[in-house]
Amino acid sequence: MHTRGSHLRAAALAGLSVLALLGAGPAEAAKTSVTLGVRLEPPHLDPTAGAAAAIDEVVFINLFEGLTQVDRDGTVKPVLAESWTISPDGKTYTFKLRSGVTFHDGTAFDAEDVKFSLERGKAADSANAQKARFEQIESVEVLGPTEVRVTLTQPVGDFLIFLGTGDAVMVAPETAAGNKAQPVGTGPFRFGQWVQGDKVELSRSPAYWGTPVKLETATFKVIADNAAAFSAMMAGDVDGFPIYNAPENLPQFAADPRFAVVVGTTEGETILSTNNARAPFSNLKVRQAIAHAIDRKALIDGAMFGYGTPIGTHFAPHHPAYRDLTGTYPYDLDKARALLAEAGYPDGFKATLKLPPPTYARRGGEILASDLKKIGIELELIPLEWAQWLEQVFKGKDYDLSIVSHTEANDINIYARDDYYFNYNNPELKALMARLDATSDEAARTALYGEAQEIITRDAVNGFLFQLAKTGVWDARLKGLWENAPVQANDLTGVYWED
Amino acid sequence: MAQFLIRRLISLGLTLLLAALVVFVVLEILPGDPARLMLGLEAREDTVQALREQMGLNRPVVERFLLWIGGLATGDLGVSYTYSVPVADLVAARLPVTLPLAVMALVLALVLALPAGIWAASRRGQAADTGLMALTQVGIAIPNFWFAMLLVFVFAVTLRWVPSGGFPGWEAGVGPALTALMLPAVALALPQAAILTRVMRSALIDTLGEDYVRTARAKGLSQRAALWGHALRNALIPVLTILGLQFAFLITGTIIIENVFYLPGIGRLIFQAITQRDLIVVKSVVVLLVALVILVTFLVEIAYAIADPRLRRRT
């Protein structure tokens, strides 16, 4: 028996030494490649055929380009359109296109491609998540190889911004159908390979029309699990996470000189969605009471480890037209109780709070429930998967309260939409949104945006909680990644390694 | 034996068909529209309907079931909703990760458990036995995802001997590929090894008390010779049974382990498919796994029948 025991020991030692040998990794060379972690794998690689942010986060700006682009500061800059003119009635846009642009398959980009791309978005069989926006386009006329005229059915104030989103990128008729698996765009990177379930690789496009990028290759590695993301960073297996989802780990990264923790803003307004058609939430005083009972600071500290900006309305604080309305309903439990009593609920009531999977919702839900309990509102927390949430809350409108981050840019118009899941119906706001659409003058638009924010705050349509922070962590030597996320993209065009 | 085989094969086919029906029905009941999930919050109902049409979701339930089951019979697993590629291709791409992982884990579990079990049985009641049994108790109690994270922390984050996860692909060479699978295999194998050790030990102790071992001892064989010559072979039958059962656990275990180590294997494929409501992938892969488990159980039964002819008549 003794000999067998030593065999075992020998085997264990051999195993360990193999481990040690394999550990000797390759020496670090001058880096022209980057590996970034993303939490969700894109379902496919065509940004014009799906709403998943994961698609845009890999291919938008890097591989596909639009006529315009929302830049890192939120302004619109020309990309494939060199310049444009807008008719005085705001309905006709004439674009002068950049010449000498080719798709990655070598074919030229011209006005015909613009016509194709825009008409494809509104076609009957279009699966574009923003089809409604394309339907605002009445016609697209080719005036010449590099000139195209787009006529809208009505003035659309933010049309240029829309053209700078992933849903409106330019694609070629020859390759559009295959973009889900083999994306072909005009961007500085071209498609390398996609190992499903694992990673997407991009490489520098040799024929790019603009300034060539410094990186030769870029890999997006899919790491869904928070613990795995943490160890991948710590072990140096990935160079960074542009969006890092577990705020509790950030202090640890911040304390480590190898890493840079970068906190910016997103377009994500995190709100306590409220079913305005269902009693007792149909009562304005009840909604206002809830607004007074939310301790936003405690919520951000407790649910997000301090990352997030309090909001008082459905608008991004970094937007030029933002109005700070956080003071409208200060945290005041006595006021909240008084409002509840006035509404006829002196002893409070019971309701449900349906929560989608993200941490902000699950953790935020618990904190909110304890906040509202203080004024007698007993919340039953119901955790849901995304698919269930979409089915029950968003589509079925079968809910009392929910917590969700609305990440679309400039999406205050959802409050004027019929049949939206808030069940909020205000003709005054609808009229105002119609005027906003008809206005392209910047100052006038700012004023209208301001009014809209005040209306929804006054009506306390939802509980306005905080703007989701964009918390990223990456290798301290990696430069050029975006701090903020005004659009869903991980723009790598300016990314490089510092020596 | 031929009759036995035919009977077993028929019941195998029926089990599989029933399993397919159950999987289909369960996924029908599961809430969540794949098309809506793909298009997100802003999409309008007509866009969702257009996509449902493209995905074949608007056809009657019975028609969809028959189409699916007919496809399965001919090896056509359908086309993934999210990836728009044949499910068979996805499975084929993922198997080279999961299969070696499962085999490595199984072999590792056996290599650890058999000697440990024999050793403990031969020292029954001694300190070594008690100590080892306490250790296996811990091994069974530790959730393997926790153990996996511990391994990552020690070997990847702290020592930096191996990557924290991911799979370089076999084209990167056998060395790097095996390195990537090593920690996950250990994490998967350990709880299994703990169970197997206990089974091996008690089976051996049981057989050592049987008449034929006593007879052998009476004929002058040493304890050790009786153990190796007579008891061990019979003690392997319960170990085989557990091994067959464990195969199913191994497959479910990979779902967790592949997430912790972000390995692009079958387990992760199912996990992602469920969260993305890629129901066709879930359905087909689950049925495939059921078939695999049934097949393994079948092979174990045949192994029994070979080891002990009396068992052939019982079924």
How confident is residue B311, by pLDDT bands cut at 50, 70 and 90?
low
Partner-chain contact B50 A195, CB within 8 Å = no
What's the confidence (pLDDT) of residue A393? Answer: 92
State whether B204 and B264 are in the same domain. Answer: yes
By C-alpha distance, which of A311, A333, A314, A335 is closest to A324? Answer: A311
Classify residue B142: in a domain, yes or no: yes
State whether B156 and B203 are in the same domain. Answer: yes
> What ipTM describes this predicted complex?
0.76
Measured over the CA atoms of residue A369, residue A372, residue A373 and residue A374, the dihedral's sign is: positive
User: Where is pLDDT greater, at B252 or A356?
Assistant: A356
State whether B68 and B97 are in the same domain. Answer: no
Cβ atoms of A59 and A183 closer than 8 Å: yes
Q: Which of A131, A221, A395 sits opposite B166 (nearest CB)?
A: A221
B93: which chain A residues are within 8 Å (Cβ-Cβ)?
195-197
Judge whether residue A27 has pLDDT over 60. Answer: no
A228: which chain B residues are within 8 Å (Cβ-Cβ)?
152, 164-165, 259-262
Query: Do the bridges between strand A401-406 and strand A349-355 make them parallel or antiparallel, or are there none, so unpaired?
Result: parallel
Classify residue B58: in a domain, yes or no: yes
Helical residues (DSSP H) of A305-426, grouped into ranges:
333-342, 359-373, 386-389
The DSSP letter of residue B290 is H
Judge whether residue B84 has pLDDT over 80. Answer: no
Partner-chain contact A19 B161, CB within 8 Å = yes
Looking at the complex, does the CB of residue A52 fall below 8 Å from at least one CB of chain B? yes
Mean pLDDT across A326-354: 96
What's the confidence (pLDDT) of residue A29? Answer: 52
Q: Which residues pair with A349 in a beta bridge?
A: A377
Partner-chain contact A232 B165, CB within 8 Å = yes
What's the confidence (pLDDT) of residue B310? Answer: 66
Partner-chain contact A198 B160, CB within 8 Å = no
Phi, psi of A182 (to 5 degrees): -130, 75
Amino acid code (one letter) for A181: A
What's the confidence (pLDDT) of residue A6? Answer: 47
Distance CA(A375)–CA(A366), nearest Å, equals 15
Looking at the complex, does the CB of residue A43 fall below 8 Å from at least one CB of chain B? yes
State whether B20 and B72 are in the same domain. Answer: yes
Classify residue B201: in a domain, yes or no: yes
**CATH of residue B174:** 1.10.3720.10
State whether B266 and B199 are in the same domain. Answer: yes
What's the confidence (pLDDT) of residue B280? Answer: 87
State whether B61 and B159 are in the same domain. Answer: no
Q: Which range is most confident: A302-311, B39-48, B69-78?
A: A302-311
- At A353-388, the pLDDT tens digits run 999 988 899 999 999 999 999 999 999 999 998 878
Beta strands in A223-331 (DSSP E): 240-241, 259-274, 309-310
Classify residue B156: in a domain, yes or no: yes
Judge whether residue A10 has pLDDT over 70. Answer: no
Last residue of a domain, one of B44, B66, B86: B86
Please tell me the total count of domains within chain B. Answer: 2
Tokens of A18: 């193999």
State whether B76 and B97 are in the same domain. Answer: no
Q: Which of A51, A198, A406 sits opposite B264 (nearest CB)?
A: A198
Query: CA of A236, closest CA in chain B: separation in Å?
Result: 8
Of the listed ranges A293-302, B33-42, B253-262, the least confidently predicted one is: B33-42
What's the confidence (pLDDT) of residue B221? Answer: 79
Of the listed ranges A42-51, A255-264, B57-66, B292-301, the least confidently predicted one is: B292-301
Classify residue B63: in a domain, yes or no: yes
Amino acid code (one letter) for A99: S
Cβ atoms of A43 and A245 closer than 8 Å: no
Classify residue B314: in a domain, yes or no: no
How confident is residue B312, by pLDDT bands cut at 50, 70 and 90?
low
Partner-chain contact A391 B32, CB within 8 Å = yes
The DSSP letter of residue A416 is G
Query: Do the bridges between strand A463-475 and strand A478-479 make them parallel or antiparallel, or are there none, so unpaired?
Result: unpaired
Classify residue B108: in a domain, yes or no: yes
Last residue of a domain, one of B86, B108, B127: B86
What's the confidence (pLDDT) of residue A101? Answer: 96
Could you tell me what percent of chain A has a pLDDT over 90? 73
Mean pLDDT across B122-146: 89
Residues 182-221 of A with CB under 8 A from B: 195-198, 221
Partner-chain contact A43 B44, CB within 8 Å = no
Partner-chain contact B43 A131, CB within 8 Å = yes
Ramachandran class of A476: left when φ > 0, alpha when ψ lies in -120 to 50, beta otherwise: alpha
B50: which chain A residues are within 8 Å (Cβ-Cβ)?
124-127
Classify residue B313: in a domain, yes or no: no
User: Where is pLDDT greater, at A223 or A486?
Assistant: A223
Distance CA(B262)–CA(B211), nearest Å, equals 52
What's the confidence (pLDDT) of residue B32? Answer: 72
State whether B18 and B114 are in the same domain. Answer: no
> ∠ CA A417-B51-B273 to the nearest 5 degrees?
105
Looking at the complex, does the CB of residue A248 fall below 8 Å from at least one CB of chain B? no
Of the listed ranges A340-349, A459-468, B2-11, the least confidently predicted one is: B2-11
Partner-chain contact B39 A227, CB within 8 Å = no
- At B184-236, the pLDDT tens digits run 999 999 989 999 999 999 988 888 887 887 888 788 877 777 777 777 877 88
What's the confidence (pLDDT) of residue B83? Answer: 81
Q: Which domain holds residue B48?
A: 1-86
By C-alpha distance, which of A446, A85, A467 is closest to A270? Answer: A467
Looking at the complex, does the CB of residue A231 fall below 8 Å from at least one CB of chain B? yes
Distance CA(B302)–CA(B308), nearest Å, equals 10
DSSP three-state, residue B61: helix
How confident is residue A437, by pLDDT bands cut at 50, 70 and 90?
confident
State whether B140 and B282 are in the same domain. Answer: yes
Partner-chain contact B159 A23, CB within 8 Å = yes
State whether B220 and B138 are in the same domain. Answer: yes
The length of chain B in residues reads 315
Partner-chain contact B94 A124, CB within 8 Å = no
Query: CA of A344, closest CA in chain B: separation in Å?
Result: 34
What's the confidence (pLDDT) of residue B105? Answer: 92
Last residue of a domain, one of B30, B57, B86: B86
- At A105-123, the pLDDT tens digits run 999 999 999 999 999 999 9
Looking at the complex, does the CB of residue A405 fall below 8 Å from at least one CB of chain B? no
How confident is residue A38, by pLDDT bands cut at 50, 70 and 90?
very high
State whether B71 and B198 are in the same domain. Answer: no
How confident is residue B97, by pLDDT bands cut at 50, 70 and 90?
very high
Looking at the complex, does the CB of residue A22 fall below 8 Å from at least one CB of chain B? yes
Judge whether residue A330 has pLDDT over 80. Answer: yes
Could you tell me what percent of chain B has a pLDDT over 90? 24
How confident is residue B294, by pLDDT bands cut at 50, 70 and 90?
confident
What's the confidence (pLDDT) of residue B67? Answer: 87
Judge whether residue B73 has pLDDT over 90. Answer: no
State whether B21 and B100 are in the same domain. Answer: no
